[in-house]
Amino acid sequence: MKGDQDVSIADGERPIEEGVRTDFRSRMTYSGYLDLDKLLDAQHPVSEPVHPDELLFIIQHQTTELWFKLVLHELQAMRSYLQHEDVSRARKGIARVKHIFRTLAEQWSVLATLTPSEYSEFRGFLGSASGFQSYQYRCVEFILGNKNAGMLRVFESDPAHHAGLQELLDAPTVYDAFLHFLSARDHDVPAQILHRDVRKAWVEQPELIPVFQRIYEDPDAHWAEYAMCEDLVDLEDAFQLWRFRHLRTVQRTIGYKQGTGGSSGVGFLKRALDLTFFPELYSVRTEIGK
């Protein structure tokens, strides 16, 4: 046996370690656990003849949707942790989400290898399909505070997605949960903010600036709140970087063409950069140290 292994090594073949399982007739496999047969059979180019770069386009967006699934899972858990005043677990969730968005931002560099000439050869086959219609992206925006009841119309043809988005429209956001957490820590969050209509998109509330100023000007006395504020800023920065990279990738690929879903394309994405989830956490910086 040893002689056989020596020959294999000499021939450049690495022997399988003793103890490595090779019989999976009655065992869970890697492919089975990950359902890889289904996952890897989910890429169906529609161009005729099939354009070689369409696979890149599909995988880029499918991968993004997988990450969005995890982001939504983490944000829902984070909201629950804050509602139960478990700030440590909430912070762990934020750390994971911000790293996901950094990964997603870097992922745009792969799609950016798709040139305008290449994309134009199969873009017409997409019809009206567009990232604008991403259900999970809308869920993420809703739970972070950028709510828009009008968006539900986009999902009227899909009852399950429509119901899921409706549920998030009617539910508190992560920021709402954080403000209730601050109130429970004896911070003077105005009652009208704590009991606001959570179906509305969040807009800046100047009455919150003194609340955050108190935290930032004495971080030692309010360390958990202070750290959580900075984590939320990290999260928003990571999300905005992803938005910006999206904008630049679209701009370099289709210029200022209209989006396949009917949006203005680059113009629509530029306006999205003006949206902010936690505006008071940026505005308070002007007041600190005055």
**Which whole-number Å values give the CA distances from 79 to 34, 136, 174, 288, in the listed order?**
28, 17, 5, 28
- 280 pLDDT exceeds 90? yes
Tally of structural domains, the chain: 1
The reported pLDDT for the residue numbered 113 is 96
Gap between the Cα atoms of 140 and 136, Å rounded: 6
d(CA 279, CA 286): 12
Say what percent of the chain tops pLDDT 70: 96
Is residue 14 over pLDDT 90?
A: no
Instruction: Judge whether 25 lies within some domain.
Output: no
Q: For residue 196, what are the domain limits?
A: 50-252+264-287
**pLDDT of the residue at 264:** 85
| pLDDT over 70 (residue 6) | no
Binding positions: 57-61, 119, 123, 246, 260
Q: Tokens 């630049």 belong to which residue?
A: 248
The reported pTM is 0.91
CB neighbourhood size of 281 (10 A): 22
Q: pLDDT per residue over 179-230, tens digit each?
A: 999 999 999 999 999 999 999 999 999 999 999 999 999 999 999 999 999 9
CATH number at residue 104: 1.20.58.480
Amino acid 89: pLDDT: 97
Q: How confident is the model over 260-274, as pLDDT tens digits? A: 888 888 888 888 888
The model's confidence at residue 9, banded by pLDDT at 50, 70 and 90, is: low
> CB under 8 Å to 70, separation ≥6 — which residues?
96, 100
Is 63 inside any structural domain?
yes
Class of residue 28 by CB neighbours under 10 A (exposed 0-12, middle 13-18, buried 19+)? exposed
44 within domain boundaries: no
Question: Model confidence over 100-131: pLDDT tens digits?
Answer: 999 999 999 999 999 999 999 999 999 999 99
Q: Is residue 13 part of a domain?
A: no
Q: Does residue 2 lie in a domain region? A: no
Residue 69 within a domain: yes
Tell me whether residue 43 is in a domain: no
How far apart (Å, rounded) are the C-alpha atoms in residues 118 and 142?
34
Please report the sign of the dihedral spanned by the C-alpha atoms of residue 288, residue 89, residue 70, residue 176.
negative
Give a yes or no: residue 113 inside a domain: yes
Q: What is the pLDDT of residues 29-73, one digit of tens each?
A: 999 999 999 999 999 999 999 999 999 999 999 999 999 999 999
DSSP collapsed to 3 states, the chain: CHHHHHHHHHCCCCCCCCCCCCCCCCCCCHHHHHCHHHHHCCCCCCCCCCCCCHHHHHHHHHHHHHHHHHHHHHHHHHHHHHHCCCHHHHHHHHHHHHHHHHHHHHHHHHHCCCCHHHHHCCHHHHCCCCHHHCHHHHHHHHHHCCCCHHHHHHHCCCHHHHHHHHHHHHCCCHHHHHHHHHHHCCCCCCHHHHCCCCCCCCCCCHHHHHHHHHHHCCCCCCHHHHHHHHHHHHHHHHHHHHHHHHHHHHHHHHCCCCCCCCCCCHHHHHHHCCCCCCCHHHHHHHHCCC
- Provide the annotated binding site for substrate: 57-61, 119, 123, 260
Give the model's confidence band at 5: pLDDT under 50 very low, under 70 low, under 90 confident, else very high: low
Q: How far apart are CA 86 and CA 78, in angstroms?
A: 9
- Give the residue ranges of the annotated binding site for heme: 246
